[in-house]
Structures are given as C-alpha cells and as structure tokens.
Structure 1
Amino acid sequence: MTGRGRGRGRAAALAVGLGLCAMIAAPPAWTAEAPGAIARRAAEQLDLAARAMARADGARDRVAALTGTVRAYEAGLSALRAGIRQASVRLRQIDSELEARRDETGQLLAALQVMAREPGTALLLHPAGPLGTARAGMMIAEVAPALAAQAATLRAALDEMATLKVLQASAQSTLTEGLHGVQQARLALAQAVSERTDLPRRMTEDTERMQQLINSAETLQGFADSLTGLPGQETDLPDFAAGRGALALPVAGRVLRGFGEADAAGIRRPGLIVAAAPGALVTTPWPATIRYVGPLLDYANVIILEPGEGYLLVLAGLGAVYGEAGLVVPAGAPLGLMPGADQGISAAVQESVDDPPVETLYMELRDDQTPQDPADWFALDEE
C-alpha cells in the first residue's frame, strides 16, 4: 500500500473513532453486584438452615425446631431463586445490548487494531501535508480517550457475562443442595408431627354427624357455617381479637386477590387468595382448635381452625395436611404443605431459571357466620 493509501486508512480509522463517540456518551450502567449479593445472602441462609436441621434432632420441641428449619430453607431458597433469575435476566440484557451494537463494536475493534498496528508518530503523518497532520493530531487527541473508554465498557460487559455464568452454575449447585435439605426437613417434620402426643384435645367431633355435613356440603361457606352450629367446649385460648391487624399470613406469599375481589371469571369470594411457592409450609397464625381437616369439595385439602369463640379461619387448597380435628395447636404450629412439595429436584432447579410456578391458598375468616375482611386482621405487607 502506498503512503497515500495508508494515510487514508489511518484517517478512516480516526473517523470511525469519532463516530463511536456517540456510543460513549451514555455507557450502560452494568453491574453484577445485585444478583451476586443476593446469592451470597441466600447461601448463608441455607447454611444456617442446614445447621438448624442438624440441631433439630436434639431439640426439646422437635416440631417447633423443624418448623423453623423448613421456614429457614424456604427463605434461603426463595432468595437464591431470585438471584438466579436476576442473573439470567441480566445475561439476556447484556447479550441483547451487545447484539444491537454488533456493527458499532466491529468498527470499534477495527479502529483499535489500526491504531495498535501504527506507531504514534505514523498516525500523526498525513498525506495532505502539515495542515492535515495537525488536524490528525487533534482528532487523535479527541478520539483516543473515547476509544479507550468504549473498549473498557465492552471489556466490563464481557467480564460481567463471564462472572454471571459462573454465578449461575454455583447458585444452581447450591440450589440443588438446598432442595435436598428442605425435602429432608419436610419429611422429618411430618414424622415429628405424627409422633407428637403433647397437644391438648378440647373436643371430639361426632364422626357420623361430621360425615353427614361433608356429604351434604355444597359450598365451603355453607360447610363452615354448619360447623359453627356443632357443640364444642370452652377453651382457654388467648383473646383472638387482640391479634387483629398483626397476624402473620399462614403461608409465605403474596395476596393475589382481596376480599370480594372478582377473579378472571367474575367470581367474588369472601376471602383472600394467596400465592405461595409449591410445597410451602402452612402454619397457624394464632393458637386454635382444629375443627376440620381433610378433603372437601374441589378445594383439595381444607383445614378449619377455631382461634376464638365464634371465629372460624378457613384454609383451603393445601396438598399435605397435619393434625386431626379436636387438637389445640399453638401459634406457628405446622398445618400442612402447599401442593408441589414432591416435585423432582431437576424440575425445581429448572423452574428457578424460568418463571417460578405458584400454588394458591384460599383463606377466609368468619365471625358468627359473617365473613370478615382478612386485610383487617393480617399483616398483608409481609411476604
């Protein structure tokens, strides 16, 4: 190539560099700290849960210890899934941004290669003579820092992609271990509940009468009202009204539909629909007597609690259920699990990358057969 041709090539490289300045004006704010920090916190939570599991065998109240262990696993797994999903979203975002700038990135690399091949003094020489050389020098002074900045931005994006992929692999390995751990904790909890003999029994329902009510039930509300009419026994439970506004949801989740809110089919129900993770633990928010537990209509498993005289708390849509009618359970006692607890490990890991599935718990509170808005009783801002 002649000196004139080389000069034109150098000038073209500088022109490309100037064209890239628009890209540099607003570089993307890429950072891997958010999903990484989430994953680290989740791993710490799961480690604490594993330690709690090891201590549960020797605990005085094994049911309470295992209940706390399952809750700890659920919190850690939820956080870890969030970290994995954020990492996946960020990877797709970076890949999309790089794909959209494919041509600009190619021009950047070409300009950098030209500048790397040519010594600084050669770049300053211009075939147009001293005036062209002076102009070329001004262009280099303006473009070189911009090219370096854009190259650094590109390198940071590629480094972040590599970091996120390593994070994903590590987090999925931790997730697999956590899922094994929570399954073991759930099995141990179910066994501990079945072996428990220290709970008081306040009442024993008439089995024949109960079966008649089940067979004749047409609605969940009608069945709950019929339970109110059955004779019971006085209990020394704390005043349920004292917990108004501060009760924790029976399951870790979020409210999908409020009291009386129409669903997609236009149906309004006098209760809440709460979205929860598959297999999530359901506990009693207040000391209560179990009035009914078992399948009912098309609600899968149902548990009806009596937390105070005249009050009934209806929980419908559970998978596994614990306990039996007549037992008095303390606050925070395990009542059962949401459906999906027995899904395979590989499926659960894949769901953490995709949109996570949810199960729904229907919750209804009644006072002397009158539906109450649970939002007045439960702290719904807590997930």
Structure 2
Amino acid sequence: MPGPFSGPFSSGPALAASADPAETAREAATALRAAAERLRAAGGARDRVAALTGTVRAYEEGLTALREGLRRAALREQTIAAVLDARREEIARLVGVLAGIERNPETVVLLHPTGPLGAARAGMMLGEVTPALQAEAEALRRQMDEVALIRALQESAADDLAAGLAGVQTARTELSQAIAERRDLPQRFAADPERLAHLALSSETLDGFAEGLAQVGGMAPEGSAPPGFEALRGTLPLPVEGTLLRGFEQADAAGIERPGLVLATRPLALVTTPVAATIRYRGPLLDYGNVMVLEPAEGYLLVLAGMAQVYGGEGQVLPGGTPVGLMGGADPNRAAFLDAAAEGGGNDRPETLYMELRQGGSPVDPAPWFARQ
C-alpha cells in the first residue's frame, strides 16, 4: 500500500482492546452506557452540535469494540470446542476413571489380589496418578467455565447492542436537527447557488470543477490563510474512522487511478472536517455522489466525496471536528450484528469515502498531512 498509512485509521481516540475478549465486551458495554448518558446530557449543552458529535463518536466506538469483543469471544469458544472435540475419547476415559474413584471407597481401591505388597504398590501408583488426574479435571473445568462465561456474555451483549443501536440512531437524528437549526457559524461569503449548481452540472472532471470554483468567487483572499496551517502537516485526524482501501493514484479493480485516498467505512459513519475550513461546495457532483469541498487555507481544497448526507452551507466557516456528513448504508439489526460477530467474517466496512487534497489547483498526496493511527 503506497504512502505512510497501513491498517485501520481512526478519526479520534478509540477504546483500547483488551487481550481478554470478555473484558473487551464489558468495556464496550460500559462505553455504550456512558454514551447514553452523554446523549441525555446533550440537550442542555451550550454547543449542542459539539456535544452530539462526541456522543455519536462514543456510540460508534462502543459498537465497534462490542463487535470486536463478541467476534473474539466466538473465536475463543470455537477454539475450545475444537480442542474438546479432538480429545473426546481421552476426556471420556478421564471422566470414567474419576467416576470410578468417586464410587469406590478408598480402602476398596487400594485392595490388590496379590496381597499387601501389591496393594502398597497400587497405592503408590494411585498417589502419583491422582494429582495428574485432578490437574486434568481442573483444566477441563476451567475450559467449560470459560465457555459458559462466553455464552452468558453473548446473551447479555444482545441487550447492550439493542440499546446502542437505538441510541446512535437517535443521536444521529438529533445531530442532523441541531446542525439544521444552528445559526452561530460565521459566514465568510454569500454563495451564489445558481452559479454553483450550473458549475456542478457543466463540469466534466473534478479538476474542471475545482478550477471553476475560483471563478465563482469566495476563495480566500491573499494573506488570509489561518496561521500555522502548514505546521499541521502530519497531525490532522482523518475525517472518518475507516480502513485504507486505496492509496494516492493507486488503480482500482477497473484500472482507474484517482489522485486521492479511498477509505472503507462502516455504514452511517460520521464524517467531520479535520481542520477549520470554509465550505466551498456541498452537493452531488459527477459520479462522486454527495461531495463536500472545504477550503482550509489559501490555495488548498479538501474534497470529501461519497457521503449519503452532507451538512452546512456554502460560505460557512467550520471549526475543526465539525460534522460535514454521514456515510450511506444502514445499521444492521441486532440479529445481523450478532451473527456477523459470531461468524467473524463479512465486510463490516462496505461504504467508501474518497478524499482528495488539492494545492495550488493540483491534487497532492493527502497521506502526509494526516497522523498515522
């Protein structure tokens, strides 16, 4: 994979995954309950958009961690079941021996047909064998207890999952409403919707659209770049929690190369601006789906494409971390979520966000601008 990125990306701090799958699931359940408390408190927050943004993120992280905990618990249960199945005959003999010892009094077990000497030898042998049998029985008991714990965990997780899925849906709905009602964002320029719409319809390429934006007006005037923007290189959070699917100018299955990054995300993942920026355009564009074009500084454009919903209006100045849209898809229902976690397979990141960074009118590799997470 080209560029400095590899593996999963995160737009913010995620829950730490415990080595114990049961502990991971418990931590996730605690996180989901904490997210529910944040949702209840968000109604009275001074900045309701910021509060709800954090709430949605908390729900997303909690559900991700819960899925991972359940997946690992299911894999552990399968491993134990496979070991026990392979040792079925050995375990049956062990249980038979232990049952025989339990049924017979110790004095009868120590009797030997050859007399006292044979009985003494049998006693010595039994004294050596019994601790080994007890150790085997104890190991078997621990494995069975672990399976019982995992199954109890899976049953209790179903309730936490149902509450989490309902909570994140409510949080997203309230966030969309709060953004629609927001009136406190500064407006850097008044956009001309008709000219923007005509530009979007008449442009044949993203390059042509970006060049046309300069003609529409509203670009940052000379010397208006936020101080220190260049210093943020290598430190920006990604706009969405996802996994790198294709790097800069890396061809897809059809051989098409795009000068940006493609991130695989979960359905309905929240997309935020990684840095303070002005909205230059929002809406459908070419074959990119819904597009958000942000201007973080003079001469720079950040293009985010492929969202199902986009927030805000042209000319608004957004603080870093402000929601700009939601990915498509739908949250799985409880049964589908549990089945996918138990099977440990399937694609849990079916949506894709395309991200392009343009400097001086030309696309550049966005990867060096973002922190490796």
Mapped to 2, the partners of 1:122 and 1:194 lie a distance apart of 85
Mapped to 1, the partners of 2:333 and 2:120 lie a distance apart of 70
Larger Rg: 1
Is contact 1:249–1:380 with CA below 8 Å preserved after alignment? Answer: no
SS across alignment from 2:370: coil
Identify the match of residue 348 of structure 2 among 349, 357, 365. 357
Mapped to 2, the partners of 1:60 and 1:325 lie a distance apart of 24
1:92 aligns with 2:78: yes
Distance change (3 Å), C-alpha of 1:261 and 1:217? same
1:260 aligns with 2:249: yes
Residues 58-116 of structure 1 show CA distances to partners (whole Å, capped at 9, x for unaligned) of 11211111111111111222112211111111111111111111111111111212222
Trace 1:172-183 onto structure 2 (pairs within 5 A).
172-183=158-169
1:61 aligns with 2:47: yes
Aligned partner letter, 1:379: A
Cross-structure match for 1:28:
none
Is contact 1:202–1:233 with CA below 8 Å preserved after alignment? Answer: no
1:379 aligns with 2:367: no
Distance change (3 Å), C-alpha of 1:103 and 1:265? farther
Q: Which moved more, 1:266-275 or 1:57-66?
A: 266-275
Cross-structure match for 1:292:
281
Residues 11-58 of structure 1 show CA distances to partners (whole Å, capped at 9, x for unaligned) of xxxxxxxxxxxxxxxxxxxxx971222122222222222222112111
Structure 1 residues not aligned, in runs of 5+: 1-31
Mapped to 2, the partners of 1:58 and 1:259 lie a distance apart of 43
SS across alignment from 1:365: strand
SS across alignment from 1:315: strand
Mapped to 2, the partners of 1:127 and 1:141 lie a distance apart of 19
Cross-structure match for 2:100:
114
TM-score by length of 2: 0.86
Mapped to 2, the partners of 1:296 and 1:345 lie a distance apart of 35
Structure 2 residues not aligned, in runs of 5+: 1-17
Cross-structure match for 2:6:
none
Mapped to 2, the partners of 1:330 and 1:287 lie a distance apart of 4
Q: How far is the alpha carbon of 1:216 from its aligned partner? A: 3.3
Mapped to 2, the partners of 1:222 and 1:79 lie a distance apart of 42
Cross-structure match for 2:226:
238
Mapped to 2, the partners of 1:77 and 1:145 lie a distance apart of 45
Query: With CA pairs under 8 Å and 6+ residues apart, which has the higher RCO, 1 or 2?
Result: 2
Q: How far is the alpha carbon of 1:298 from its aligned partner? A: 2.8
1:124 aligns with 2:110: yes
Cross-structure match for 2:26:
40
Mapped to 2, the partners of 1:113 and 1:225 lie a distance apart of 84
Cross-structure match for 1:21:
none
Mapped to 2, the partners of 1:294 and 1:348 lie a distance apart of 31
Aligned partner letter, 1:146: A
Is contact 1:180–1:345 with CA below 8 Å preserved after alignment? Answer: no
Aligned partner letter, 2:285: L
Aligned partner letter, 2:132: A
Cross-structure match for 2:136:
150
Mapped to 1, the partners of 2:264 and 2:164 lie a distance apart of 22
Mapped to 2, the partners of 1:221 and 1:344 lie a distance apart of 40
Trace 1:326-337 onto structure 2 (pairs within 5 A).
326-337=315-326
Q: How far is the alpha carbon of 1:297 from its aligned partner? A: 2.7
Q: How far is the alpha carbon of 1:210 from its aligned partner? A: 2.6
- Number of aligned residue pairs: 350
Is contact 1:46–1:77 with CA below 8 Å preserved after alignment? Answer: yes
Aligned partner letter, 2:133: L
Residues 270-321 of structure 1 show CA distances to partners (whole Å, capped at 9, x for unaligned) of 2112222211111001111111111223322111111111111111111221
Is contact 1:237–1:287 with CA below 8 Å preserved after alignment? Answer: no
Cross-structure match for 2:67:
81
Q: Identity percentage over the alignment?
A: 55
Cross-structure match for 1:29:
none
Mapped to 2, the partners of 1:346 and 1:222 lie a distance apart of 46
Is contact 2:234–2:370 with CA below 8 Å preserved after alignment? Answer: yes
1:49 aligns with 2:29: no
Cross-structure match for 1:187:
173
Mapped to 2, the partners of 1:43 and 1:270 lie a distance apart of 40
SS across alignment from 1:308: coil
Cross-structure match for 1:274:
263
Cross-structure match for 2:361:
369
Distance change (3 Å), C-alpha of 1:196 and 1:341? farther
Mapped to 2, the partners of 1:151 and 1:237 lie a distance apart of 71
TM-score by length of 1: 0.84
What RMSD over aligned residues (CA atoms) do the two structures have, in Å?
2.3
Residues 130-178 of structure 1 show CA distances to partners (whole Å, capped at 9, x for unaligned) of 5644443333122111111111111111111111111111112111101
Is contact 2:225–2:298 with CA below 8 Å preserved after alignment? Answer: no
Identify the match of residue 151 of structure 2 among 160, 165, 177. 165
Distance change (3 Å), C-alpha of 1:213 and 1:33? closer
Distance change (3 Å), C-alpha of 1:237 and 1:69? farther
Aligned partner letter, 2:367: A
Aligned partner letter, 2:183: T
